[in-house]
A and B are shown apart, each in its own frame.
Chain A
Amino acid sequence: MPGNSKSRRYIGWACAYTPLVLMDAAGFSPCRVLPMGNPPDQAGRLLHETLCPHVKILLDRAMSADLPPLEGMVFTTSCDAMRRLADAWKPARPQDRVFLLDLPTDRGDWARRYLASELRRLADALALWGGEQVTGQRLRRSARQRAELGSLLHELARLRATGRLHGSAAVLQRLNNQAATLPLEEATDVLRSAAAELRQEPDGGTDVPIYLFGNVLPDPDTFALIEDCGARIVDDDLCTGSRWLTTTHFSAAGDAFQELAAALLHRPPCARTVTCSEPVAMARELVRRARACGARGVVCHTLKFCDPYLARLPAIRQALRDEGVPLLVIEGDCSLRTLGQQRTRIQAFVEMLV
């Protein structure tokens, strides 16, 4: 969570498709509201119980006033549960401004043009919320800063995968969480220091390399638990891990909104983004990345009731089986409690791969 600096103006966000550079360029500090804390016990008053635990925990945090001071909250229509969260946020926190960015599900030209218009609408809204006018120059500067943040995170992940980062994968996840919540300059400083201070000689570890795949898994302790079972997470595809930060390159003369829209649509996709012409593209990409990082197996952690991910699982299971890559699927609710129940499965999976 960010500090109490009064000069900062925070805007909350919840989905990795959120255009952070736009919020930076408008002079705000984007702060991810992470699903951390106690199991939800209030969200059921506004949303039904069998709904995505990510969304329920965020709503619980809103209803419990467990948030930093926010100028507003930006949601995306990334999935139906996230739309419902945007609806429920209004009665939960009537004082908050809420913006819902409509996100296309495919990546074609029409989708890019539409998303660009949505981004302009967001820029206008941010101006009404007291933000700066978003210009191409400001966007380019923010993109450069975000790119540096991304490079640092990438470097830390690389160090961790090769045993040259002091500490477990929990350390890396803690840094990811800080980078997603702290003001940009502060986050960059934290990562710079970590890259310098946590570097070590290769640890020569013999743990089983695994690739972690799924959606929302921010709790550092869950990473410690997985590694405690004898695994080493050598790469991940999580929206709270390697996938949360979009790198954007703006040209000198192009339409910045069109370019930002293209960057968002072509970022590493989550299960909600479908390439209609290639329905199994996600499964194929998963196999490629698991092979590239030298993983002996794939652990898929998906949230309960997450229909987009559950719908992709049969194709993923088949693709991995065809390639002879073992897969373990575990369902969770963003908490260590449910993962602890799965400890035997994770440990047995690792024993299987030894």
Chain B
Amino acid sequence: MYYLGLDIGSLSCDAVIIDGEGTILAWAVVPTGARNRRSLARVRAQALENAGLPADSVEATVSTGYGRDRVDGRLAAVTEITCHARGIRALLPQTRLLIDIGGQDSKVIRLGPDGRVAEFAMNDKCAAGTGRFLEAMSRALEVDLETLSDLDMGARSGLTLSSMCTVFAESEVISLLAEGVEISEIALGLNRAVAQRLRAMVRRVAPDVAGLPVSMSGGVAYNGGVVRALEAALGSAISIPEKPDIVGALGAALIARERSRQVR
């Protein structure tokens, strides 16, 4: 028996295939692009190919992400909040606070001792502090996302950005570059701005972070600069799974396995 989890995000479509024991057999990540149905078909096919499985070997599929309702043949559509919580529970079971920064939204999820969602906060109205924000900033700084990740290294103090709006922050970064401000200082300022925004969300669900094991999921977890700034802002170390971008899809696959058994 094999189970498929599909996370249809704004920037990427992620797929994870697990077996009946919950072990990950294969995963795939493709850019979402403008046509998410096509990307969905591609990521599903790629995951099956990576697992060496025919399409009809999948017992059940659960979808998540903003495109979750567009997946045909699904057993269920489950929100990314529940799926990320379920996925991180499998990868880093000690987690009590999960920060997920995706392409167009960021979430802070407090988990109970049983791994269930106890409370969450979500930024879903603006792209400030999300993957899109960092994409725009890397464009303004004329570096790729990988380079942006370590661009803050060597910065002395960082500076404070006056705007977190993606559009205005991009203009501000361009102005700072024109003034000759060191690029590392700007990068540190950006990372701190993202971290401060996340810290405010963390406080809404967990007024006291001390002693809470914190983990991070979503593509932005690959950005070392943001992670370092977050650790400094929270005063807490952050654990990151090996593949943080497939945590939602893994959670969806695990939920497919659980619900499929309930149905049977």
Taking beta carbons and an 8 Å cutoff, which residues of A are in contact with B? 326, 341-342, 344-345, 347-348, 351-352
Contacts and interface: CB of A to CB of B under 8 A. Distances in A.
Contacts of A347: 79
Nearest to A349: B120
A231 B108 CA distance: 23
B122 interface: yes
A12 B79 CA distance: 42
Nearest to B65: A344
A344 B122 contact: yes
A351 B119 CA distance: 11
A54 B234 CA distance: 38
Contacts of B80: 344, 348
Given A348-B80, A351-B81, 17 more contacts: A326-B119, A341-B124, A342-B124, A344-B66, A344-B80, A344-B81, A344-B122, A347-B79, A348-B81, A348-B82, A348-B117, A348-B122, A351-B79, A351-B82, A352-B82, A352-B117, A352-B118
A342 B78 CA distance: 15
Given A326-B119, A351-B117, A352-B116, A344 B82 contact: no
B66 to A, nearest CB: 7
A341 B104 CA distance: 13
Contacts of A352: 81-82, 116-118, 120
9 contacts: A341-B125, A344-B66, A344-B79, A344-B122, A348-B79, A348-B81, A348-B122, A351-B82, A352-B118
The main secondary structure of chain B at its interface with chain A is mixed
Nearest 8 interchain pairs by C-beta? A348-B81, A348-B79, A352-B117, A351-B82, A347-B79, A344-B79, A345-B122, A351-B79
B159 to A, nearest CB: 29
Contacts of B79: 344, 347-348, 351
Contacts of B82: 348, 351-352
Contacts of B124: 341-342, 344-345
A351 B85 CA distance: 12
Contacts of A348: 79-82, 117, 120, 122
A224 B119 CA distance: 24
A347 B116 CA distance: 15
Interface in B69-87: 78-82
B62 to A, nearest CB: 12
Contacts of A341: 124-125
A81 B204 CA distance: 28
B217 to A, nearest CB: 15
A237 B79 CA distance: 27
A345 B117 CA distance: 12
A345 B78 CA distance: 11
Contacts of B125: 341
A56 to B, nearest CB: 18
Contacts of A342: 124
Contacts of A345: 122, 124
Contacts of B122: 344-345, 348
Contacts of A351: 78-79, 81-82, 117
Nearest to B120: A348
B253 to A, nearest CB: 16
A347 B117 CA distance: 13
A94 to B, nearest CB: 38
Nearest to B66: A344
A341 B122 CA distance: 12
Q: For A326, A342, A352, which residue has the most chain B Cβ atoms within 10 angstroms? A: A352
B247 to A, nearest CB: 15
Nearest to B81: A348
